[in-house]
Amino acid sequence: MVERRVTRQLMVGKVPVGGGAPVSIQSMTTTKTSDVEGTLTQIYALAATGADIVRCTCNEEEAAEGLARIVPRSPVPIVADIHFQYRLALAALEAGVQALRLNPGNIRNPQHIKTVATEARERNVPIRIGVNAGSLDPDMAAKHGGITPEALVASAMHELSLFEEVGFDDVKISVKASNVALMIESYRLLSATTDHPLHLGVTEAGPPPQGLIKGTAGIGTLLAEGIGDTIRYSLTADPVEEAKAGRTLLEAMGLRERKGLDLIACPSCGRAEVDVIRVASEAQAALEARNIPLQVAVMGCVVNGPGEAREADLGIAAGRGKGHLFVRGKVVRVVPEAEMVGALVREAELIVAEGIEARLAAADENAEAIAAATREELLQIQGTDANHSEERVERIRDIAG
């Protein structure tokens, strides 16, 4: 397990951030905040996908009025995103938001910043200092030799010092950039500079798959180092995809309990007995539609399949026209190849309803014997090396020798 960096803890509504709390998932609505019903529809969709906190823009008076109607009906805490107009931050606080995000790059008047911090302090509302490489204060960039990790962190710490002048320290911080390497180095420096909780993200990452790769490279690297208390993927896509990506990443890293499907599958090889890509795609669609919270394996052959995927809750491997269904590495049933996906889905539903141990106890008596016989038959036909790599190695040795 990764040893997470020790940070202070703050509360965004009822969601703890930092201080050893589970890493939380955030996203941002794309609707006009003045469109109350449309925004709430998106917030509910995000919450259902796994978002713990949702941010809404507050860029005009109508947006602040919308927040006053949205916050009481939201299933998750709402953060108001503020740019340029400090009075809109005050209006958002009056609307009842559970947190603010301020960008030091575009609200620079110290008195305005301290006014917002004072009001947030009085209402016990935390603020995220959201530094962004794309909107860094030009004076800060000039002082630190351009858009550098030092410049981004200095911007955050300057804002924090203004907060401290009015006795406000209920703060989390982000230093985002669209350049992954810059983002990583900035957060490393920030982590070594302060113990405030950190919000991770690669800003303006772009559409999938590029955006997913960039976001995962940055966020995943830092989480693996124990850095980060809350995350957001910034994708040019439906924000539900951001929440889904965040949930998937945290589950894959063991930082959140699995609540969704984790489907693993072999990349296929000369030994595969079925079209692994097709079977895996069909299985994923069927299991996701049923919101099955298991790790499920789809393997192309029975020679190594159950063994290689023995840690999976459930899996199926193909062999000689049949599917070998296994639970935690033990073959429990053999079904016709055409029924592989259906059998996998039925067993997944039964595991969710009855539990792993009950399904192991319900295994067919002769399933493992049939599987062993099929495996031996395939080994005789294919050999242990279906791709003949060892034969090639011997020939290489003859040639090179």
Q: Long-range contacts of range 342-347, CB-CB < 8 Å, 24 or more positions apart?
A: 343/316, 344/283, 344/286, 344/287, 344/296, 344/298, 344/314, 344/315, 344/316, 345/283, 345/286, 345/287, 345/290, 345/292, 347/314
The confidence band for 55, taking pLDDT boundaries of 50, 70 and 90, is very high
Q: Which of 254-263, 286-295, 349-358 has the highest mean pLDDT?
A: 349-358
Nearest Cα neighbor of 190 from 179, 175, 170 is 175
Closest CA to 173 of 101, 108, 116, 124: 101
Are 37 and 174 part of one and the same domain?
Answer: yes
Determine, yes or no, domain membership for 323. Answer: yes
Query: Is the pLDDT at 307 greater than 80, yes or no?
Result: no
Q: Which among 26, 22, 97 has a CA at the least distance from the CA of 58?
A: 97
Q: Look at residue 274 and tell me if it is in a domain.
A: yes
**168 with 247, same domain?**
yes
User: Are residue 71 and residue 152 in the same domain, yes or no?
Assistant: yes
When pLDDT is cut at 50, 70 and 90, the band that residue 386 belongs to is: very low
Whether residues 229 and 319 share a domain: the answer is no
Q: Are residues 246 and 287 in the same domain?
A: no
The DSSP bridge partners found for residue 230 are 24, 199
- Window from 81-90, 143-152, 253-262 with minimum mean pLDDT: 253-262
**Residues 186 and 48 reside in one and the same domain:** yes
Domain final residue, candidates 206, 234, 252: 252
Q: Which of 236, 165, 226, 164 is nearest to 200 (CA)?
A: 226
Reported confidence tier of residue 138, pLDDT bands at 50, 70, 90: very high
Q: Domain check: are 61 and 102 in the same one?
A: yes
Please state the pTM of the whole predicted model: 0.85
How confident is the model at residue 382, as a pLDDT? 58
Residue 299 shares a structural domain with residue 243: no
Give tens-digit pLDDT for 1-21: 678 999 999 999 999 999 999
Whether residue 39 is contained in a domain is answered as yes
Residues 219 and 339 in one domain: no
Bond before 209 cis per omega within 30 degrees: yes
For 73-206, where are the alpha helices, taking DSSP H only? 86-95, 110-123, 138-143, 149-165, 180-193
To the nearest whole percent, how much of the chain has pLDDT over 70?
A: 94
Tokens standing for residue 382: 């294919």
Average pLDDT, the chain: 92
Nearest Cα to Cα of residue 155 among 170, 143, 172: 143
388 in a structural domain:
no
Rounded Cα distance, 104 and 107, in Å: 5
| CATH code of residue 223 | 3.20.20.20
pLDDT over 80 (residue 139): yes
| Terminal-to-terminal C-alpha distance of the chain | 47
Among residues 252, 287, 303, which one ends one of the domains? 252
User: Same domain for 210 and 71?
Assistant: yes
Q: How far is CA 139 from CA 89, 143, 230, in A?
A: 24, 6, 29
Report residue 354 as tokens: 């009855």
**Is residue 135 pLDDT above 70, yes or no?**
yes
| Beta strand 15-18 pairing with 199-200 | unpaired
Q: What pLDDT was estimated at residue 72?
A: 98
Is 398 part of any domain?
no
Query: Would you state the pLDDT for residue 52?
Result: 98
| 189 and 300 within one domain | no
Last residue of a domain, one of 234, 252, 270: 252
Strand partners, 333: 325
Q: Would you say residue 395 lies in a domain? A: no
pLDDT of residue 381: 64
Residue 226 reports pLDDT greater than 50: yes
H helix runs in 128-238, sequence order? 138-143, 149-165, 180-193, 210-224
User: Does residue 16 belong to any structural domain of this protein?
Assistant: yes
Residue 257 lies in a domain: no
**Domain total in the chain:** 2
Q: Which domain holds residue 276?
A: 262-382
Extended strands (E) in 225-344: 230-231, 262-265, 295-299, 314-319, 322-327, 330-336
**CATH code at position 306:** 3.30.413.10
Digit-coded pLDDT (tens) for 118-134: 999 999 999 999 999 99
My answer on whether 226 and 356 are in the same domain is no
Q: List CB contacts of 44: < 8 A, sequence separation 6 or more.
A: 75
